[in-house]
A and B are shown apart, each in its own frame.
Chain A
Amino acid sequence: MEQHEAQKNEYNIIGTRPIRHDGEDKVTGRAQYGADISFPDQLYGKVLRSPHAHARILSIDTSKALAMPGVRAVTTAEDLPRLKDRMVAGEAGAENIRYVTERVLASDKALFEGHPIAAVAATDPWIAEEAVKAIEVKYEVLTAVTEVRDAMKDDTPPLHGELTTETLGEKSKKATNIVRHTRHKRGDPDKGFAEADLVIEREFETKTVHQGYIEPHNATALYRSDGQITLWTSTQAPFWVRRDLAELFDIPLSRIKVVPMEIGGGFGGKIAVYLEPLAILLSKKSGRPVKMIMTREEVFYASGPASGTVTRIKIGVKKDGTITAATAWMAYEAGAFPSNWAMVGSMCVLACYRLENLQIDAYDVLTNTSKVMAYRAPSSPQAMFGVESIIDEIAIKLDMDPLELRLKNAVQEGDRRADGPKFHRIGLKETIRAAMESEHYKSPLPSGANRSRGVASGFWFNAGMQSSATVGINMDGTANVTTGSVDIGGSRASMAIMAAEALGLTAEQVRPIVADTDSIGYTDVTGGSRTTFATGYAVYEACQDVIRQLKTRVAKLWDVQEDKVEWGDGAFHHVDNGKSPMSVGDLGPKLEATGGPVMGHGTVNPKGVGAGFGIHIADIEVDPDTGKVTILRYTAVQDVGQAIHPAYVEGQMQGGATQGIGWALNEEYIRDAEGRMLNPGFLDYRVPTALDVPDIETILVEVPNPGHPYGVRGVGETPIVPPMGTIHNAIARAIGLRMRSLPMSPPKVLHEILQRGQTVEAAAPVTS
């Protein structure tokens, strides 16, 4: 693996590749995921969902279902408290609790295909299924609008009669589907464009896509007679699930315990509650544990995919490649309830470039589709796709190396992001240079017709937020580390590595534990690339607390003042070297005699988040007869900060790149005129298989984040951002076609080829 800014590794454990602590359970089939838990007296819940993307619910008759043998409970929106307008914490900013309630169970209108109307609990899943079919619902079918362009039109009826647009903080009077208009402006874009030698403006389109985690949503709930609720579920955010449920049911947090089961992927899609409140309602009515699992079709219809978008990007440059101005107009599908993803996209769209003159206008738009939720670097891929395309076009027109052009305009520490905040220490320039120096980029272009190479960059904020950790020292000096962060991809190992580093132990001497919401302090979501950063920070703080306490014990044992005891190189030392050093291992057996157990606590809400940047390089071939794109070689380069467990860092980059490749080439929600999804399964929602991607080479650029004691930056999200632009640019250079609409699927690519006629323009070389 290439190393950049090669630094002396001052760490003993950080940067090594120990076996993950939960690994054995996961390769032997013993790990308990949400669907794996069962109770002898459990009932099986199934959901009745709207077949229509938009319909008024005239009546719901559950009597036949309730009368069926084996049916123990039926629930509808009537069973949820009708709450008044109140803003509560949500996935990307606050949301109105009334909309959360409406999303969980429709009362007045079905607003998307798959919108839950009712749920049934029965003694076996087949009875529950039949009972769902026996519920009679009368609908008045309404016109569905699923594309943002259509939803924004003045004459399109608004989904929610009462909702008006918030423009730059001001509420309009007229009901509309535009939830919010966000604007960022700096300098004078018109002047900037006037100063440019070359101005390019293009429109881009992306379709709704899904996270595509392999494990469907699940929830098992038990509502006890004393009102206490236990919920077992595969979620990225047990504390957020608890919060959402407390808000929905209007009950105290202390009445709900969320037990996070192992989770089979999430990528942002397993944060909001879907089945959880239904399972609780059914358990309350039946007095029995209720287990619910979505089918794959339900996951596609009714979980939280990522926005389809329309963007218009304009960039002006001087002959030497200096960007003089940029503007972006962006409209994002919100789904059927207000969300903030365009606003998030507006903060990403121009983040890689230093700009004096810019304007960004972003619109969150309601559509008759399931509410959009986070998907790995949410909103950034759609935003940056267009920018990265235009930058490549500029490079070709100016006859510049596309990485040279990016380097020339790259942001660095002290520059302001388009929406205002100043960047701390970031590694975009280091990453671009590493890409330029890579063996892949320096190698000759792939030989043969219809082949070429593309590059693009990507950005993600990374996140901080709140985390808690405890560290308990065992009597033999080994340690237990408990956090509230669900382990979705190896975070137990990274917590153990950081604790081991802090305490002078080996990774194997530390047992990492993921606790339920009753057993550890508040911890935010496993998401936002925040877990290793923030929860790792909490673990570090808990370890420092342990060291402070142990120092007292050492002073007692040595019969010296505490200021004579120093911690360093994994052991306590006497400042005057008067005593043999003592390690945590040495101290374990002495704890009982020196005052009892030692347990450290760490709680953080860190602000020193370090943004992540990546550059991807792809060599591709287009089959001009079919429009099919084959990826010949792929490299991901990224500033990952200090890599804690490099193998899992590489894995994040490879996985993110592969999801991005799927998004670029084939993944999309395909809907009919009534707004129904035509491809709600892994057969026709085409995520990449092992045959669709090459080996993904990784180059880890390690620019430590000064905002973290171990330089952690966050890794997981950035790598999904560059692939769309990378492959798009490679196609453009291979056959001279700019596919400005994702996915760049064979029928679309072939259409462009046929439109143009059979002549293929000369491909522009990417390297000099």
Chain B
Amino acid sequence: MSTNRMVSTTINGEDMALIIDDRMTLLDALRDRAGLTGTKEGCLSGDCGACSVIMNDRVVDSCLVMAAEAEGAAIVTVEGLADGTELHPLQRRFLEQAALQCGICTPGFLVTAKSLLDRNNNPSAAEIRLWLAGNLCRCTGYDKIIRAVEGASADLRAAKG
């Protein structure tokens, strides 16, 4: 018999208790147990970044984290970026700059970019490209994504005054 357990975790600021099978990854638990399907599956090997989430202040590929490891962790997913109906500057800039086409990689890019801007609100284009290199986008050629992150970082700096 497979092992099931309850994992207590904080997701997007809410305490949650999820019943998981020990075979599940954090990605499975978020999508199939917490109902947060914004986090996407692209490769299950840590090569595409579509499943990126922030776990204890570090961005991770949730397909390469066992769900049981989330015990006591604080998780942020794409669903946790906006503040109510107020989009995060990254979300707004992605829309304004047409930084998405099909949109499947977008949640991963937003979360990864947020983890960058959380620690450096004035990254260079080269730093942005390095930080986002674990997120594959097959539609945009990255150009507009880089512009959007630059724009959001300017917004964040302006908001800080």
Residue of B nearest to A37 (CB): B37
Known A654-B141, A690-B145, A691-B130: A216·B42 in contact at CB below 8 Å: yes
Interface residue B91 (Cβ < 8 Å from any Cβ of A): yes
Docked complex Cα distance between A14 and B132 (Å)? 33
Please give the distance in Å from A215's CB to the nearest CB on chain B. Answer: 4
Docked complex Cα distance between A614 and B154 (Å)? 34
Please give the distance in Å from A232's CB to the nearest CB on chain B. Answer: 13
Is A681 in contact with B43, judged by CB distance below 8 angstroms?
Answer: yes
Question: Chain B residues near A175 (CB, 8 Å)?
Answer: none
Docked complex Cα distance between A522 and B55 (Å)? 46
Is B45 in contact with A682, judged by CB distance below 8 angstroms?
Answer: yes
Contact with B along A688-731 (1 / 0, CB 8 A): 01110101100000000000000000000000000000000000
Known A267-B138, A658-B141, A690-B135: A24·B101 in contact at CB below 8 Å: no
Please give the distance in Å from A217's CB to the nearest CB on chain B. Answer: 12
Interface residue B29 (Cβ < 8 Å from any Cβ of A): no
Docked complex Cα distance between A214 and B47 (Å)? 10
Question: Chain A residues near B47 (CB, 8 Å)?
Answer: 681-683
Interface residue A430 (Cβ < 8 Å from any Cβ of B): no
Please give the distance in Å from A527's CB to the nearest CB on chain B. Answer: 13
Of A28-36, A47-55, A333-341, A598-606, the segment with at least 4 beta carbons within 8 Å of chain B is A28-36
Is B44 in contact with A33, judged by CB distance below 8 angstroms?
Answer: no
Is B136 in contact with A689, judged by CB distance below 8 angstroms?
Answer: yes
Question: Chain A residues near B142 (CB, 8 Å)?
Answer: 654, 658, 690, 693
Question: Chain A residues near B139 (CB, 8 Å)?
Answer: 265, 489, 651, 655
Is B146 in contact with A690, judged by CB distance below 8 angstroms?
Answer: yes
Please give the distance in Å from A26's CB to the nearest CB on chain B. Answer: 4
Contact with A along B35-60 (1 / 0, CB 8 A): 01111111111011010000000000
Residue with the highest number of chain A CB atoms closer than 10 Å, among B44, B48, B94 = B48
Is A262 in contact with B82, judged by CB distance below 8 angstroms?
Answer: no
Is B102 in contact with A23, judged by CB distance below 8 angstroms?
Answer: no
Interface residue B81 (Cβ < 8 Å from any Cβ of A): yes
Known A215-B102, A215-B104, A267-B138: A29·B78 in contact at CB below 8 Å: yes
Interface residue B18 (Cβ < 8 Å from any Cβ of A): no
Question: Chain A residues near B44 (CB, 8 Å)?
Answer: 295-296
Interface residue B140 (Cβ < 8 Å from any Cβ of A): yes
Question: Chain A residues near B106 (CB, 8 Å)?
Answer: 26-27
Total interface residues on A, using CB and 8 Å? Answer: 59
Contact with B along A515-526 (1 / 0, CB 8 A): 000000000000
Contact with A along B71-106 (1 / 0, CB 8 A): 000000111011000010001001111101111111
Question: Chain A residues near B105 (CB, 8 Å)?
Answer: 214, 264
Is A687 in contact with B136, judged by CB distance below 8 angstroms?
Answer: yes
Please pick, from A126, A214, A695, the residue contacting B136 in the complex, using a CB distance under 8 A: A214
Chain B contact residues: helix, strand, loop or mixed: loop
Is A214 in contact with B100, judged by CB distance below 8 angstroms?
Answer: no
Interface residue A648 (Cβ < 8 Å from any Cβ of B): yes
Interface residue A434 (Cβ < 8 Å from any Cβ of B): no
Total interface residues on B, using CB and 8 Å? Answer: 58
Contact with B along A481-520 (1 / 0, CB 8 A): 0000000111000000000000000000000000000000
Question: Chain B residues near A33 (CB, 8 Å)?
Answer: 37, 40, 104
Please pick, from A20, A22, A126, A695, the residue contacting B146 in the complex, using a CB distance under 8 A: A695
Known A19-B95, A212-B138: A26·B79 in contact at CB below 8 Å: no
Docked complex Cα distance between A650 and B97 (Å)? 11
Contact with B along A236-261 (1 / 0, CB 8 A): 00000000000000000000000000
Contact with B along A631-671 (1 / 0, CB 8 A): 00000000000000101101110111111000000000000
Please give the distance in Å from A676's CB to the nearest CB on chain B. Answer: 18
Please give the distance in Å from B26's CB to the nearest CB on chain A. Answer: 15
Question: Chain A residues near B96 (CB, 8 Å)?
Answer: 19
Please pick, from B32, B103, B128, the residue contacting A264 in the complex, using a CB distance under 8 A: B103
Is A647 in contact with B78, judged by CB distance below 8 angstroms?
Answer: no
Please give the distance in Å from A138's CB to the nearest CB on chain B. Answer: 30
Contact with B along A1-41 (1 / 0, CB 8 A): 00000000000000001011011101111111101101000
Docked complex Cα distance between A266 and B104 (Å)? 11
Question: Chain A residues near B98 (CB, 8 Å)?
Answer: 17, 20, 490, 645, 647-648, 650-651
Question: Chain A residues near B78 (CB, 8 Å)?
Answer: 27-29
Residue of B nearest to A25 (CB): B103
Jot down 14 A-B pairs with beta carbons below 8 A, ordered by A: A20-B95, A27-B107, A35-B41, A214-B40, A264-B103, A489-B101, A489-B102, A647-B97, A647-B98, A650-B144, A682-B48, A690-B129, A693-B143, A696-B143
Task: Knowing that A296-B44, A488-B102 touch, tell me 18 more A-B residue pairs with CB under 8 angstroms.
Answer: A27-B103, A27-B107, A28-B38, A33-B37, A36-B37, A214-B102, A214-B105, A214-B137, A215-B104, A265-B104, A293-B41, A296-B45, A489-B101, A647-B144, A682-B43, A682-B136, A687-B138, A696-B143
